[in-house]
Amino acid sequence: MTGNRSDQSSSAHTRKAADTMGDELTQNKLPCAVSLDFEELAQGQQCILIRLAGETYTLRKTQSGKLILNK
Q: H-type helices in the chain, by residue range?
A: 5-28, 38-42
What would the pLDDT profile of 39-71 be if each residue is shown by its tens digit? 999 999 999 999 999 999 999 999 999 999 999
Question: Considering the entire predicted model, what is its pTM?
Answer: 0.54
Q: Indicate if the alpha-carbon torsion angle 19, 24, 29, 34 is positive or negative.
A: negative
Rounded CA-CA distance 23/15 in Å is 12
- CATH superfamily, domain at 37-71: Complement Module, domain 1 (2.10.70.10)
The full set of domain ranges for the chain reads: 1-35, 37-71
Q: How far is CA 3 from CA 9, 11, 36, 44, 51, in A?
A: 10, 10, 21, 19, 31
Of the pLDDT bands very low, low, confident and very high (cuts 50, 70, 90), residue 32 is: confident
